A and B are shown apart, each in its own frame.
Chain A
Amino acid sequence: MHKVVIPIGPQHPALKEPESFSVTLSGEKIMKFSARLGYNHRGIEKACEERTYIQDVYLTERICGICSHSHSTCFVQAVEEIAGADIPKRALYIRTLVGELERIHSHLLWLGVAGHEVGFDTLLMYTWRDREVVMDILAMLTGNRVNYGINTIGGVRRDVTAEQGKAILKAMDTLEERTNYYIQIATKETTLIQRLSGVGLLSNKDALKLGAVGPTARASGVDRDVRRDDPYAAYAEVKFKVITDNHNDVYGRTLVRVGELLETYKIIRQIIKKMPEGPLTVKVPRKIPAGEAVSRYEAPRGEDMHYVKSNGTEKPDRVKVRAPTLANIQTVAKMLEDRQLADLPIVIAAIDPCFSCTDRLTGIRHAGKRSKSVLKWEELHAYSIRHYREHGIDFAELNKKMRKALK
């Protein structure tokens, strides 16, 4: 049959972020799927090198709008490890608390988006309404709904009062009741089960081979969770189950996420009960001694990894971020092999992608003859000036004008 290549994105009404896919179709069937990342590249890693550690906390927090706490915690953990700081217990508990609250809001958000992608908008409306409960709790605790700004190098910036603890426990009861309701929906609503079952299959072997992480891996029976395998913050002191599933499809990924929600409520209850008294921060010098560290964190989407290298100054030498979506994006091609085009939105949505987290690098190539050569920064700069000059635009002039206008 005749093959058709369809470009989806980088700007596409169905996608919430600029990312680009190219899908080769034979009829309705997907023959080949490839993703092209890089449209959301913001140069955060480089920007980290030019700022002090304390400024970087806020910068890494803004890598992702949903798992902002994951990234900032991952970063401060690495810095604290290099500095050899002993973080107070209470601070670790508060970090864990905010991290788990973030997981609740992220998973409820995902459930709604998944519903939306399969045309079940009723589910979207209700999960997002219930998500407000946890958003209000986060706002109460940290001041803001997103970008909580709770982390600082050496601890946390805000305390949790006894009253707030009570409000959290109450919210957990409400959310648990609602989650149980969604579990009922997920296991009894035939339209949902039939739409999600067998879609986006990823066998256990493939999940391991492609290095899937988080709920995507756990729904293919890969029993991995950084919180249990390499405990950070206060996870060593709380009891919880790692939810896995053997459906290997989008339905399994749904079950894993709602199952994880119930575990999260358990963790939060234990955290509130066990939270020790004590200081919130320990003093960490502004200059971090030379060294390097890798920090792992189980973000809602899977394992997040930060690498920090210091050189004895106030600014890091190198910061490297591996967001969970980068580990999961390769699995999408496998999941979509020989599947229908109509499954594409939900299969992509099922890994809970976050492309702005993922875009750490852009390689730029000559579109013409030298298609194999990758352009370096200086070459690109010179090329762009030449290109625009040929088209009658001189930036030197424009820059002068702009400077004048801005004055």
Chain B
Amino acid sequence: MIRPGKMLKQVLESVFKKPATTEYPLVKARMPDNFRGKIVFHPERCIGCRLCMKDCPSGAIEIRKVGEKKFECEIDLGKCIYCAQCVDSCLKKALEATREFELAVLDRKKLKVTYNAETGEVSKG
């Protein structure tokens, strides 16, 4: 039958249901397993071929030689488009995409993340 208010029943039913939205940020959001988030660097695996730099669409990644067979990596989180092409390009699995996505900072300089060649630790700025 053609009549107005066809959705009324559903609307009324919804009054008694839980909200469809999630309560982020009160409840932490879990990203899917193959999410392309912040890229991390494993210096011990890197051989310095710089394929990652060559393929990065946004010029966000830089591999620097700091010693004999020692490389450090700088990623500009502000430039990175989180495509994970660098992860695919790296034949040595030295780069990895994580599920980390809450990357906003108040100081722009902090967006530049450097992974130390020795310890792999992150230093910002």
Contact = CB atoms under 8 A, between A and B. Distances in A.
By secondary structure, the A interface counts as: helix
Most buried by A among B34, B54, B55: B34
Most buried by B among A123, A185, A190: A190
9 contacts: A58-B81, A59-B57, A122-B7, A143-B33, A149-B85, A188-B6, A189-B5, A189-B7, A193-B2
A191 B4 CA distance: 6
Most buried by B among A62, A122, A140: A122
Contact of A149 (B3, B32, B56, B83): B83
A149 B36 contact: yes
Given A126-B10, A158-B34, A184-B6, 5 more contacts: A55-B85, A123-B7, A126-B7, A149-B83, A181-B10
Interface in B31-57: 31-36, 54-57
B15 to A, nearest CB: 13
Contacts of A144: 35-36, 82
Interface string A175-189: 000000100110011
Given A58-B85, A59-B57, A139 B7 contact: no
B36 A185 contact: no
Interface in A125-163: 126, 129, 132, 139-140, 142-144, 147, 149, 152, 157-158
B104 interface: no
Given A55-B57, A122-B11, A144-B35, A189 B81 contact: no
B20 interface: yes
Contacts of A142: 34
Interface of B: 1-7, 10-11, 20, 31-36, 54-57, 81-85, 88, 97
A130 to B, nearest CB: 9
Contacts of B7: 122-123, 126, 185, 189
Given A55-B57, A149-B83, A193-B2, A139 B20 contact: no
A141 B5 CA distance: 37
A59 B56 CA distance: 11
Nearest to A192: B6
B4 A152 contact: no
A189 B82 CA distance: 44
Contacts of A143: 32-36, 84, 97
B2 A190 contact: yes
B20 A132 contact: yes
A313 B6 CA distance: 60
A149 B84 CA distance: 9
Contact of B2 (A129, A132, A147, A188): A188
Contacts of A193: 2
A58 B57 contact: yes
A189 B32 contact: no
A54 interface: yes
Nearest to B34: A143
Given A55-B55, A59-B57, A188-B3, A139 B85 contact: no
Given A144-B36, A149-B83, A149-B84, A54 B55 contact: yes
A157 B88 contact: yes
Nearest to A55: B57
B94 to A, nearest CB: 18
A205 interface: no
A147 B82 CA distance: 10
Contacts of A191: 4
A265 B51 CA distance: 40
A126 B84 CA distance: 34
Interface in A185-236: 185, 188-191, 193
Contacts of A185: 6-7
Given A54-B55, A54-B85, A189 B4 contact: yes
A62 B84 CA distance: 15
